[in-house]
């Protein structure tokens, strides 16, 4: 395993720990508060999710920039997906471990201490092992350095950029295809995270333990599917079976269609718990196909500005998390099955329509504005010699 693979694993663990801490709050908050006094009173215990979402957005932008520097195109499906799917690995671990830790120690504070220590340990490891660019890393082997130099020349990666070509980015159809598709992806993901547990409780009459068990299975399969589909993308790309653009669109469509029909199937399964949960879990698993498509697509378009494009798409896509709770609360005042069916149909239409835009306008080709400043030399134009490390 090369240094670039070690960096990918460390970045994956960083996102895993971020979501581990983020998701544990949803479980631990039930032990923090007296539900008798907080029920139906949103003003009594403000939920600090928006602040957490802000920090998560910063992480995604940084990770896209690192992947753009370190992961060659031929490995982007596998190792890029590994990095970005760390979020669901964190969700899975938190789903399984947080409740057990609270039960064992009898204090909800313990999970915050433990996960906080893990984040500090990870920060130390990240500082020691991760470098901004291959040019900064003095420990690369000759073979790996040559490989990354060739990759930098292939994608026209530059050492620095004085300005961001915002006008050209905002006029780019492929960029807006990613943004719109990300709205659909995030809409479906927020529906799974925030609304499906309510559906399972109100319609299927699951208790919190059953809720956690089934969702844990769904998240673990989502992560597993993302890794497998990422490996498949690299194999298909290596054998040139289809173009990289078609490759990305096929995976995005599988993720969209699978999750959409999973929701609709669950809503029409009536009170058949096994059929409903099979539909939901299969739908969650197929959402893993989004990761070697939408999540890595900003790097395809502009390796020099991957962080910028990723920040734009994740910021606008994250607005779905503001809209969905209002739609659900207005459409499901009684929690009846027919009310939830309307919610699932809206989600179905949003996911499929946004994916249609991506299929029509999306691309995996490097965009002209990636080379915004022709006067700046390529990374491969430099003779890479050992130097003092810069983080």
pLDDT digits (tens, 9 = 90+) for 147-156: 888 888 776 6
In a domain, 170, yes or no: yes
For residue 379, give both structure tokens. Answer: 């990374």
Check pLDDT > 50 for residue 375: no
Number of domains in the chain: 1
The size of the chain, in residues, is 391
Contact predicate 299/67, CB 8 Å = yes
Percentage with pLDDT > 90 across the chain:
38
Interval 176-191 mean pLDDT = 91
Percentage with pLDDT > 70 across the chain:
83
In a domain, 150, yes or no: no
In a domain, 280, yes or no: yes
48 versus 90: which is more confidently predicted? Answer: 90
Domain CATH number, residue 219: 1.20.1250.20
In a domain, 198, yes or no: yes
Check pLDDT > 70 for residue 305: yes
140 versus 154: which is more confidently predicted? Answer: 140
Interval 361-389 mean pLDDT = 62
Question: What's the pLDDT tens digit per position in 210-254?
Answer: 777 788 888 899 999 999 999 999 999 999 999 999 999 999 999
Check pLDDT > 60 for residue 44: no
Q: pTM of whole model > 0.85?
A: no
240 versus 385: which is more confidently predicted? Answer: 240
| Mean pLDDT score of the chain | 82
In a domain, 15, yes or no: yes
303 versus 387: which is more confidently predicted? Answer: 303
In a domain, 341, yes or no: yes
Query: Of 20-24, 99-103, 361-365, which has the strongest mean pLDDT?
Result: 361-365
In a domain, 155, yes or no: no
Range of the domain at 58: 3-34+47-130+161-375
Per-residue HEC secondary structure of the chain comes to CCHHHHHHHHHHHHHHHHHHHHHHHHHHHHHHCCHHHHCCCCCCCCCCHHHHHHHHHHHHHHHHHHHHHHCCHHHHHHHHHHHHCHHHHHHHHHHHHHHHHHHHHCCCHHHHHHHHHHHHHHHHHHHHHCCCCHHHCCCCCHHHHHHHHHHHHHCCCECCCCCCCHHHHHCCHHHHHHHHHHHHHHHHHHHHHHHHHHHHHHCCCCCHHHHHHHHHHHHHHHHHHHHHHHHHHHHHHHHCCCCHHHHHHHHHHHHHHHHHHHHHHHHCCCCCHHHHHHHHHHHHHHHHHHHHHHHCHHHHHCHHHHHHHHHHHHHHHCCHHHHHHHHHHHHCCCCCHHHHHHHHHHHHHHHHHHHHHHHHHCCCCCCHHHHCCCCCCEHHHCCCCCCCCCC
Confidence (pLDDT) at 26:
61
Tell me the pLDDT band of 52, cut-offs 50, 70 and 90: very low
In a domain, 153, yes or no: no
């Amino acid at each position: 395993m090369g240094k670039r693979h070690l960096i990918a694993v460390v970045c994956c663990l960083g996102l895993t720990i971020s979501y581990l801490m983020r998701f544990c709050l949803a479980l631990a908050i039930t032990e923090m508060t007296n539900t008798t006094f907080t029920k139906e009173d949103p003003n009594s215990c403000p939920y600090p999710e928006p602040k957490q979402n802000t920090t998560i957005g910063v992480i995604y932008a940084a990770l896209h920039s690192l992947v753009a520097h370190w992961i060659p195109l031929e490995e982007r499906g596998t190792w890029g997906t590994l990095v970005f799917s760390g979020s669901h690995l964190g969700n899975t671990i938190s789903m399984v471990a947080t409740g057990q830790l609270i039960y064992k120690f009898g204090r909800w504070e313990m999970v915050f201490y433990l996960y906080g220590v893990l984040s500090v340990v990870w920060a130390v490891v990240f500082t020691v092992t991760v470098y901004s660019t291959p040019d900064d890393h003095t420990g690369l082997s000759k073979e790996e350095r040559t490989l990354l130099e060739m990759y930098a020349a292939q994608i026209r990666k530059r050492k620095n950029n004085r300005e961001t070509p915002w006008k050209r980015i905002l006029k780019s159809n492929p960029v807006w295809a990613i943004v719109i598709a990300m709205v659909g992806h995030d809409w479906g993901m927020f529906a799974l995270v925030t609304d499906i547990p309510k559906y399972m409780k109100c319609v299927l009459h699951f208790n919190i333990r059953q809720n956690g068990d089934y969702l844990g299975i769904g998240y673990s399969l989502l992560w597993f599917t993302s890794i497998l589909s990422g490996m498949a993308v690299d194999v298909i790309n290596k054998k040139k079976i289809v173009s990289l653009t078609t490759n990305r669109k096929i995976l995005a469509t599988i993720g969209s269609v699978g999750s959409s029909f999973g929701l609709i199937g669950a809503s029409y399964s009536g009170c058949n718990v096994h059929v409903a949960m099979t539909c939901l879990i299969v739908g969650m698993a197929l959402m893993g196909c989004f990761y070697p498509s939408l999540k890595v697509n900003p790097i395809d378009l502009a390796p020099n500005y991957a962080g910028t494009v990723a920040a734009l798409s994740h910021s606008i896509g994250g607005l779905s998390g503001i809209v969905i709770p209002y739609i659900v609360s207005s459409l499901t005042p009684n929690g009846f099955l027919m009310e939830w069916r309307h919610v699932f149909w809206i989600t179905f239409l949003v996911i499929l329509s946004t994916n249609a835009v991506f299929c029509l306008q999306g691309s995996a080709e490097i965009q002209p504005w990636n080379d915004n400043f022709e006067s700046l030399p390529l990374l491969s134009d430099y003779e890479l010699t050992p130097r003092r490390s810069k983080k």
